């Protein structure tokens, strides 16, 4: 029997089906972490260049900084929590898998949108479709993230759910607070 080489795509596929063993397919190097961030950073960089070419310097810089905070916040928050819980050894693999699995969650959301459009075409009420899509997307995202947290950090499923709720809420606050401060300052 031949041993198969680890594959990020295989790991993503396994985690997409909520198979925690997929976590072993992800490397644990700093370079792999930077590689997992690169595609997500490329998108706002291209948008920033387009804004710069349009003469919108402030918007370009603001959007790029916003994207960097949004991209790095989950890694920073999850590292702090993993360290606090004594699970720092598994954090790098978790962070790498988390970044790559955002593509899985995005693909799941797009699949949901397609199914939602089909449901609308056959006459389902719009509000019902929106509720089902929203709950389905959030549920799937939580399931994927908690599966990878549980296996990467060697914690229980319940603790993994708490972990991802904290990571997502604190990350959301880190992203939104500067915007709220700017909006509050604009009114005064």
Domain residues of the chain, as ranges?
29-187
What count of other Cβ atoms lies within 10 Å of the Cβ of residue 83? 11
As given in the structure block, the two tokens for residue 160 are 């993994």
136-148 tens-digit pLDDT: 999 999 999 999 9
Mind listing the pLDDT tens digit for each residue in 149-176? 999 999 999 999 999 999 999 999 998 9
pLDDT of residue 1 exceeding 60, the answer is no
- What is the mean pLDDT of the segment spanning 93-104? 97
More confident residue, 9 or 65: 9
Per the confidence metrics, is the pTM higher than 0.85?
yes
Instruction: Write b or e for each residue in 5-43: b if 16 or more Cβ atoms lie within 10 A of its Cβ, otherwise e.
Output: eeebeebbebbbeeebebbebbbeeeebbeebbeebeee
R_g of the chain computed on alpha carbons: 19
Residues whose CB falls within 8 Å of the CB of residue 133, separated by 6 or more in sequence, listed in order = 112, 113, 115, 116
């Amino acid at each position: 029997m031949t041993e198969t080489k680890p594959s990020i795509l295989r790991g993503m596929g396994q985690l997409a089906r909520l198979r925690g063993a997929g976590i072993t397919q992800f490397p644990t190097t700093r370079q792999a972490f930077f590689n997992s961030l690169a595609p997500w950073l490329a998108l706002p960089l291209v948008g920033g260049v387009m804004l710069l070419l349009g003469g919108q310097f402030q918007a370009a810089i603001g959007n790029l900084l916003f994207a960097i905070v949004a991209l790095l916040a989950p890694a920073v928050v999850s590292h702090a929590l993993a360290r606090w819980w004594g699970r720092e050894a598994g954090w790098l693999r978790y962070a790498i898998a988390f970044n790559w699995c955002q593509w899985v969650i995005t693909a799941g959301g797009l699949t949901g949108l397609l199914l939602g459009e089909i449901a609308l075409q056959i006459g389902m009420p719009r509000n019902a479709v929106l509720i089902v899509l929203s709950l389905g997307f959030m549920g799937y995202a939580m399931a994927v993230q908690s599966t990878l947290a549980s296996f990467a950090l060697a914690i229980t499923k319940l603790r993994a759910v708490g972990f991802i709720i904290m990571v997502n809420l604190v990350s959301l606050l880190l992203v939104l607070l500067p915007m709220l401060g700017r909006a509050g300052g604009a009114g005064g």
